[in-house]
Amino acid sequence: MADQLITGTTLIEDKRLASKAEGTYEPTVTSISNLDAAPTVTGAFFVRVGNIVSVAGGISQNPTSSSTNTSFRITLPVSSSFTDTSQCAGTFHSVQNGDEHGSINAHVANNEAVFEYNAISAGTSTVYFNFMYQVI
């Protein structure tokens, strides 16, 4: 039986939903700027429906300096071949270091998700993230 999708008040069959996956994963994290060491994943999970993947989790990170642009990237649970930074989008947030928050987008050169923010303070904190991307 094909998956069904409700649009408006019409129930239709949608073969795109047949490609589903979910689970936990352990991404590799690479420091790009202003971090004492590569951040550590404290947990990550994903759901894939068709060509869209949603990812969430936590990452412990330690900025070297405050008031400095900070970035790192993580591998994806389902590979993609990004051609534009907008093919991955999300946010992350931590209340441990003065309400730090930032954006997540596609790192085209490495086909990974890149986290970017201005560190409010130096020191270890855990950021919680959520992003979605296209499988291309």
> What residues contact residue 46 under an 8 Å CB cut-off, 6+ apart?
21, 22, 23, 24, 25, 53, 54, 55, 56, 77, 78
Phi, psi of 62 (to 5 degrees): -140, 90
Angle at Cα 135 formed by Cα 105 and Cα 10, nearest 5°? 110
36 inside domain: yes
Domain range for 33 is 19-134
Render pLDDT for 27-85 as a digit per residue (tens, 0 to 9): 999 999 999 888 999 999 999 999 999 999 999 999 999 999 999 999 999 999 999 99
Q: What's residue 49's pLDDT?
A: 95
The CATH number of the domain where 90 resides is what? 2.60.90.40
Instruction: Check pLDDT > 90 for residue 16.
Output: no
94 inside domain: yes
Instruction: Check pLDDT > 50 for residue 1.
Output: no
Q: What's residue 100's pLDDT?
A: 84
Q: What's residue 94's pLDDT?
A: 87
115 inside domain: yes
Which of the pair, 32 or 7, is modelled with greater confidence?
A: 32
4 inside domain: no
9 inside domain: no
11 inside domain: no
Q: Please give the tally of structural domains in the chain.
A: 1
Render pLDDT for 114-136 as a digit per residue (tens, 0 to 9): 999 999 888 888 999 999 999 99
Q: What's residue 60's pLDDT?
A: 94
1 inside domain: no
12 inside domain: no
